[in-house]
A = this chain, B = another copy of it.
Amino acid sequence: LSKCDVVFSCKKGGDTFPFIVEVLSGSAKFIDLSGDYRLKCPETFEQWYGIKHEHPGLLKEAVYGLPEWYRARIREGRLVANPGCYTTTTILACAPIIAAGFGVASPVLIDAISGVSGAGRVAKAENLYISVAENVRAYRVGNHQHTPEIEQELTAIAEVGRKRAKIKGAAQPIRTLFVPHVGPYKVGILASCYLRLDETFPVPTDDDLYEILRTVYLNEPFVRVYQPGALPQVESVVGTNYCDIAAKCDPRTGTIVIISATDNLVKGAAGQAVQNMNIMFGFEETAGLTGRL
């Protein structure tokens, strides 16, 4: 490993703990695709992953590898924690609205569905064709391990929003209720994100929301914002590194609905890891990520 420029790792459950320090002591950069370096707080890690983190210093150092929000830090980082698939899909959707500084009341509710490839290639009964086809099921209701990752990032972004809006005092952490489902298809996530408006703020129009999203992602090569009325579908992003996003306000209930879609194996995993590598090494950011993958 001493001669590597970059190490991609899919090991999880702390399996990198025994050797990561040594790897990072050389010149290699490390892109980790597991959840082991995504959370900043060691206690939160232990609570959600059930093991004690052996390198809390690395948790602090690791850069959260979501290029649209942390590109500058990724460029300088030597340890990049590649975000989870659900997390990428939902943070890219919610962050611009939350950062815009008008009031979103905690909790944020996220109802998402993934194709069965999210469970990997493990030969388990629940992933058989006869279990998956013509079926839908929810799982890990409220206790999926991507929950604290979403909360950490949305809270950080809300702080940004408060500063922009010159709101004083510390922000309350944003709580998230995340309910994932598995659907009868191979690849792709469709997330429906529900942001309840604080009643003291005026209700935005769909055009307002579109402008906020469009402005934030104007120069992003892998985010496509839909005009009011249009909605992302899974098939639009399959085999691509895109995240497609549409937002809509429901004034009747004071709720913003944001629908987003990604390919969980590309923008939700390997594609984003390549995008991070491209940034870290000064390559063209889209290199290897165009066309149908």
Chain A positions 122 through 146: 1 when the CB is less than 8 Å from some CB of chain B, otherwise 0:
0111011111111111110110000
- Taking a contact as CB atoms closer than 8 A, the residue among B117, B121, B190, B252 that contacts A136 in the complex is B190
For A131, list chain B residues within 8 Å (CB).
Answer: 129
Q: Is A186 an interface residue (CB 8 A)?
A: yes
Q: Is A184 an interface residue (CB 8 A)?
A: yes
For A186, list chain B residues within 8 Å (CB).
Answer: 129-130, 133-134
Residues facing B in A211-266 (CB within 8 A) are 231-235, 238-239, 248, 250, 252-255, 257, 259
* B177 and A136 contacting across the interface, CB-CB below 8 Å: no
* A134 and B259 contacting across the interface, CB-CB below 8 Å: no
Bound-complex Cα distance A142 to B257 (A): 9
For A77, list chain B residues within 8 Å (CB).
Answer: none
* B138 and A185 contacting across the interface, CB-CB below 8 Å: no
- Taking a contact as CB atoms closer than 8 A, the residue among B177, B231, B235 that contacts A250 in the complex is B177
Say whether, besides A125-B123, A130-B121, A255-B177, A136 and B248 are in contact (CB < 8 Å): no
**Nearest-CB distance from A185 to chain B (Å)?**
5
Bound-complex Cα distance A129 to B186 (A): 7
* A134 and B185 contacting across the interface, CB-CB below 8 Å: yes
Of the listed stretches A5-13, A107-115, A276-284, chain B binds A107-115
Count class of interface residues, chain A: 35 or more
For A125, list chain B residues within 8 Å (CB).
Answer: 121, 123
| In the complex, residue of chain B having the shortest beta-carbon distance to the beta carbon of A125 | B123
**Nearest-CB distance from A199 to chain B (Å)?**
12
Q: Is A183 an interface residue (CB 8 A)?
A: yes
* A121 and B128 contacting across the interface, CB-CB below 8 Å: yes
24 contacts between A and B (CB under 8 A): A106-B253, A109-B194, A111-B111, A111-B179, A121-B125, A128-B128, A128-B129, A129-B133, A134-B187, A136-B233, A137-B231, A141-B231, A142-B250, A142-B252, A142-B257, A177-B194, A177-B253, A177-B255, A183-B185, A184-B185, A194-B194, A239-B292, A292-B292, A292-B293
Q: A129-B133, A134-B235, A292-B292 are in contact. List 13 more A-B contacts (CB 8 A).
A: A123-B123, A123-B124, A127-B129, A129-B184, A133-B185, A134-B134, A134-B234, A137-B233, A138-B190, A141-B248, A141-B259, A142-B252, A175-B252
